[in-house]
Amino acid sequence: MPESAHTDGQPTTDVIDQIRDIPIYRDSIERGWFPILEKSEIARGFPDNWMTPQLAAALKRGEAEYVLSTGTNHARMRLIRPPYFLLKTYYRLWNDHPDIGRTFREDCRRVSLTTVLATEHVARVNAAKRGATPDPLPSLADRRLDDRTVYLNLRLDPEQWERDDIERMVGEIRSERRVHPRGWYHLDCSGLHLAHLVRKALAWGVWDDFPRPASVVTAYEYTPANVRQYLEHHLGCPVVDLFGSTELGYLYYSDATGQYHPHLDRMSVELVPLAPGSALHGLIVTSVRNPYMPLVRYRSGDCVRTTDDSPDPAKVVQFCGREKELLPTADGPVSQGDLDACVTAASPRIFLSQLRTTGPREATLRYTTFDGAPLDDAASTALEKLTSDLTGFACSAVHRTRIPIGASGKYAWLVRER
């Protein structure tokens, strides 16, 4: 596939020709050098810093629209993109995927279980088309994004799902599955939300009614290794991960073995070290996939590790979380993925975990388990030692029956109390 940047990260002539009239890039074109593009620069003067006659005309015709990035535990960003931009890149990747592409080509319905904010967005869009106000508890029809995708979740915190919620969602999955002649459906999810659904369906005797999916994708937030293993065990199929964002679309996918592969349609990637001597790299992307807001050397805010610690985008082995959510330590920054490795090594029973710094060099690791029972002394001690060795903090492990979810409907792996 054609590259959109030179090896030093600078855009090719072809890319420059496509961005020449966009105000935010004029100075860089004149200097002949493009610095890394930060989110703050994108927002500065928005939307005038992106406006061209072509974009203004596209907005007027409805070929471009304003949206907000989904956000996790940080500020959301205003964007301009074609309608259904992210969905179309999802569908293309799903179609092309070597392990699950068949389920796209066989017209499987896509059932999405993720944050309630995503469900509410779909309900608002559908209500706006009718000139109505969205129902606080939208019907299945109001939660349908298109003819093959529907959203399930109606609560912010999946820990608060009651039996009625589980029975409703399982029933809606069954109704989508019945449409396919082979009884297939595609399950698109946040891995943590799906694990909550599986746990509760098992606990409340609804599991036998839960139809097994033909394919599963996690695509919304970091999925801990224990959670992926738990889902694969109970669902009996590979759980494929897609990595992307609202502003970029999808860039990488994992295969059935868990190995990541680039899917860089009209884009290229650079990796830059996040600190001297650190093997953590920040993701820098040049993309003209979105014709109305092409991004040149854009810092996505995501951090990755490679198989050999080199800055080779083809060797990405893990997407480790967000740069803004790194924990600074004496030995360099620690990511969500680094903590997850400690959790996984300590016990496969751990479901959710959250590190809370309680002093200059003290922290508490709160955790829940799939079966609701605390770890035994040996596993708890191992968890404390592994976390302390990783962070340099004196860490104590504390079992909880629940870890609060964030306002975005996603979990924070790190909370700084001091």
Phi, psi of 86 (to 5 degrees): -65, -40
Alpha-carbon gap, residue 173 to 185, rounded angstroms:
8
**DSSP E strand stretches across 263-413:** 267-273, 281-287, 295-306, 316-322, 350-357, 362-369, 394-399
Token pair in block for residue 376: 């035994």
**DSSP E strand stretches across 75-179:** 78-81, 109-113, 144-146, 149-151
Q: Is 237 helix (H, G, I), strand (E, B) or coil?
A: coil
Give the residue from 405, 254, 385, 226 showing the smallest Cα distance to 319.
Answer: 254
CB 316 within 8 A of CB 305: yes
**Biggest CA-to-CA distance, the chain:** 66
* Predicted pLDDT of residue 253: 97
Token pair in block for residue 29: 């074109």
Length of the chain: 418
* Predicted pLDDT of residue 73: 45
* Predicted pLDDT of residue 157: 97
Tens-place pLDDT, residues 154-174: 999 999 999 999 999 999 999
Residue ranges of the chain with per-residue pLDDT less than 70: 1-7, 70-75, 418
Amino acid residing at 225: A
CB 64 within 8 A of CB 179: no
* Predicted pLDDT of residue 1: 38
Tens-place pLDDT, residues 192-238: 999 999 999 999 999 999 999 999 999 999 999 999 999 999 999 88
CB 9 within 8 A of CB 37: no
* Predicted pLDDT of residue 402: 96
Alpha-carbon gap, residue 375 to 406, rounded angstroms:
25
Peptide bond into 47 cis (omega under 30): yes
